[in-house]
Amino acid sequence: MISKWSESSIAKWGFDEGMGSVVKDSVSGKEDRIEFALRTGRYQAPVDPIWHPGIAGHSLWFDGYSTYIRRSSQEIKHPVEGLTITVWIAPSSFEFGEEERLSAIISQHNREAAEGYIFGIYKNGAWSLQLGIDGEWVEIWSYDRPIPLNKWTFLSATYDQASKRLQLYYNGVQVAEKKIDSSSGITPHAGDFIIGRNNQGSVLAGAFTLNHYQGFMDELTVYPTALHSEDIQELYAAYLHMNGDKMPESVTIEGNEIRSLRAKDRHRPQFHLSPPSHWMNEPHAPFYFNGQYHLFYQYNPRGPFWHHIHWGHWISDDLVHWKDLPPALSPGNDFDSDGIWSGSACHDKSGNPVLFYTGGKYSKFPTQTIGLARSCFPIDGDHDLKHWVKHPEPIVEQEKEGGLFGEFRDPFVWEEDGIWYMLVGTGTGENKQGGTATVYTSTGDLTQWELRGPLYVSNYEKYPFLGIMWELPVLLPLPFKKEDQYVNSDKHVLLISPWGEGADIEVYYWIGSWDKNTCQFKADHEEPRLIDVGDFHFTGPSGMVDPRTGRTLLFTIAQGERTPEIDYDSGWAHNAGIPVSLFLRNDDLLGIEPIREMQQLRKKLLLSATDDMDGMNRRLADVKGDQLEIHIHFGKCSAEQYGISVRRTPEGEEETLLYYDARREWLSVNRTRSTLETTERIGGIQGGSLQLDGETLQFIVYVDRSMIECYANGIKSLTTRTYPSRIDALGVAIWSTGPIELMSVEVWEMGSIIG
């Protein structure tokens, strides 16, 4: 039945191969290569794109940034007098629509020159056929019948020169028609014909072209004439007949399936949280509900670059083993159409979880407002909380007296004694005299909030590195730790991330007192302090009080610092840091340590020994790995500098060195020999103050492929990255400028956290 129309087509791709990296056009017999970033094999063996069962046979999944099929203009007929495009698609996400361009299903056009044609989708599932006729660019749109996500839809678009008419069909039914004045045909475009990518896509960061299609595609056919309405209805019915005369079920791409494509990337961490693929920045909005921890993250599902941010979602029973869930929030409301940016979570009066987020819309000012989303759990009983409903309007909009007008984001919300408090990051005012967090309170349904004023204002003139605005303000109680118990200390920790001119983008904090009546914070020390001294890698704070243990938990991003070209080839960018516990030490300093649940990931004890430096290095000669947990307790040491070398080649051509300078009281990482690859951005020496006050040095070091974290004496961390070029950079060695008489070392091989 379908062959009745296929015989008259220009080209037809059935996507029935089901494997490999070529797809055959059944009309010409030509095999077209499928472009896909992971086929380059830059950091692992080449990988083919994902195939799934389709409407007829198989379908191909387009990843949203690198999957497309290109054919030269000379190898395909140019329709002039008429055009019909038919295709089955199941999109995985919708694109931002950069420069108001379509995410192309097929494209061979020049919009500005009014040549050729393009067929594709737009924001929120709108879709369009566009073509050049007699010097004019003609567009027909369907807004009223948007394309759903993760469901198969049969789309058809036609142009007929004789009747001067364009038509769109949704599952065989006409949903749009447009009459034009010109009797001319389609003006041909001499450029390449492309499937899955806009041939005039907007360029971002050099390596990335936007306006790609993301999702499954099957049975794509192009005709040089306009099929009649009856033909399209019959064609739709014929496809349904192949599926038992019913619409096919929803089709989704699972996180583990996407994640498996990159599992053997030699630089991708395995026991640090990361999205299934593509881009993430800060994790945020942690909470505990019905026996599970939930953690969200800033996520671009369409590629390894920052753009059109969604909320990714993980769940865990134990804070260590995590499961990927579909994105929880996506842009779509009028006030959040350009991004669902960072926020937090709390429980409402009924105990159900609520999300607070920053809604972004570039066409208005201020561009940022605060939105709210509620879980559907009370209705659908979904314990994983996959479904959320956004409140249709902002719950808080910035007032001119509410800080630096126009900079207003990252709500952090908690409840005390029936009152909910919200911090929003901003600046102190139009004079740009430093950052602050504005406080709001609510006692109702969390949609009405009262402005209470700034939480805390630091001395910007004295500390200009704190920037003109604060992002991600977090206020958490700081308990005493007594053995494995956590008890109230009446102290809080305020954490912020500086932003703006002169800002040092790190996580700074103050310890002090929180007055819930005045909604103000009083710091015990004027000078802000750093948790991590790795220089920019440890950023994006968010936190919670763990109801099971009473711990104060902190979550962060671990920045990747690679080039866009490398991100393109690897298909992922950034990951989370290890969750850490914050507490107040007996000396009134901030304590920081990895959560003890990390011990569950230990697979094999590789070494447990006490020895001097030479003896220990002989023992370490047999210890190799890129997923390690290392504990070192240095004894008395007369050396000025001493530490550990990891990701080391046998002769030390590549290594990353973590060490302590006793004279300067300084914790550092030396990355001057971390890699021989000249395109990687890493290098140099980074570090910061570490005052031991008579304590002997203790390191807990995590090595997870490109990730390195060092926790020193429970008071400082150093987070950094390394991307060795050699696959034998797996060694560990103790390093010192002088003798070390005695030390103890334990090394474990570590497993993966994703289940």
**What domains are defined for the chain?**
3-242 (2.60.120.200), 281-594 (2.115.10.20), 599-750 (2.60.120.560)
What string of DSSP letters covers 61-101?
EEESSS-EEEE-GGGS----SEEEEEEEEEES-----GGG-
CA distance 410 to 427: 13
Quick one: pLDDT at residue 754?
77
Token reading at 36:
């896909």
Ramachandran area for residue 502 (φ above 0: left; ψ -120 to 50: alpha; else beta): left
Residue 301 predicted with pLDDT over 80? yes
710 and 632 Cβ atoms separated by less than 8 Å: no
Q: Nearest-CA neighbor of 730 among 383, 417, 266, 324?
A: 266
- 21-25, 92-96, 107-111, 618-622, range with the lowest pLDDT: 92-96
CA distance 401 to 569: 46
Residue with tokens 């036609």: 158
Label residue 622 by pLDDT band (50, 70, 90): very high
Quick one: pLDDT at residue 95?
87
Quick one: pLDDT at residue 7?
66
> Rounded mean pLDDT of 335-346?
97
Label residue 491 by pLDDT band (50, 70, 90): very high
The DSSP letter of residue 396 is B
- 10-14, 429-433, 474-478, 629-633, range with the lowest pLDDT: 429-433
> Rounded mean pLDDT of 483-497?
93
Residue type for position 53: P
Q: List Cβ neighbours of 248 (8 Å cut-off, separation of 6 or more).
A: 55, 152
Q: Nearest-CA neighbor of 346 among 492, 547, 594, 557?
A: 547
- 112-126, 240-254, 450-464, range with the lowest pLDDT: 240-254
Q: Is 40 helix (H, G, I), strand (E, B) or coil?
A: helix
Quick one: pLDDT at residue 96?
87
CA distance 712 to 502: 29
Query: Is the entire prediction scored with pTM above 0.75?
Result: yes
CA distance 709 to 629: 10
Residue 4 predicted with pLDDT over 70? no
665 and 691 Cβ atoms separated by less than 8 Å: yes
- Reading across the β-sheet that carries 339-347, which strands appear in turn? 339-347, 353-360, 368-375, 388-390
The DSSP letter of residue 614 is H
Residue 3 predicted with pLDDT over 70? no
Q: List Cβ neighbours of 497 (8 Å cut-off, separation of 6 or more).
A: 470, 471, 472, 505, 506, 507, 508, 539, 540, 541
Task: Classify burial at 66, counting beta carbons within 10 Å of its beta carbon; exposed 0-12, middle 13-18, buried 19 or more.
Answer: buried
Quick one: pLDDT at residue 6?
61
Residue with tokens 């901030």: 590
The DSSP letter of residue 348 is -
441 and 447 Cβ atoms separated by less than 8 Å: no
Quick one: pLDDT at residue 283?
98
Cα angle: 664, vertex 669, 675; to 5 degrees = 150
Residue 1 predicted with pLDDT over 60? no
Does 116 or 5 have the greater pLDDT score? 116
Tally DSSP H helices, then E strands, for the chain.
Answer: 6, 52
State percent of the chain over pLDDT 70: 99
> Rounded mean pLDDT of 268-286?
97
566 and 680 Cβ atoms separated by less than 8 Å: yes
Task: Classify burial at 618, counting beta carbons within 10 Å of its beta carbon; exposed 0-12, middle 13-18, buried 19 or more.
Answer: exposed
- Please, what is the end-to-end C-alpha distance for the chain in angstroms? 45
| pLDDT, tens digit (0-9, with 9 covering 90-100), for 376-408 | 998 888 889 999 999 999 999 998 877 889 999
Quick one: pLDDT at residue 205?
80
Token reading at 102:
């379509």
Quick one: pLDDT at residue 433?
80
Specify the DSSP element, H or E, that contains 569: helix 564-570
CA distance 633 to 743: 6
Residue 553 predicted with pLDDT over 70? yes
Mean pLDDT for the chain overall: 95
Cis-peptide into 366, omega within 30 deg: yes
Q: Give the count of alpha carbons within 13 A of 736, CB side only.
A: 21
Residue with tokens 């139009």: 430
| pLDDT, tens digit (0-9, with 9 covering 90-100), for 166-223 | 999 999 999 999 999 999 999 999 999 999 999 999 999 889 999 999 999 999 999 9
Residue 614 predicted with pLDDT over 60? yes
What string of DSSP letters covers 224-279?
SS---HHHHHHHHHHHHHHTTSSPPPP----HHHHHHTTTT-TTS-SSS---SSEE
SS (H, E, C) 683-735: CCEEEEECCCCCCCCEEEEEEECCEEEEEECCCEEEEEECCCCCCCCCEEEEE
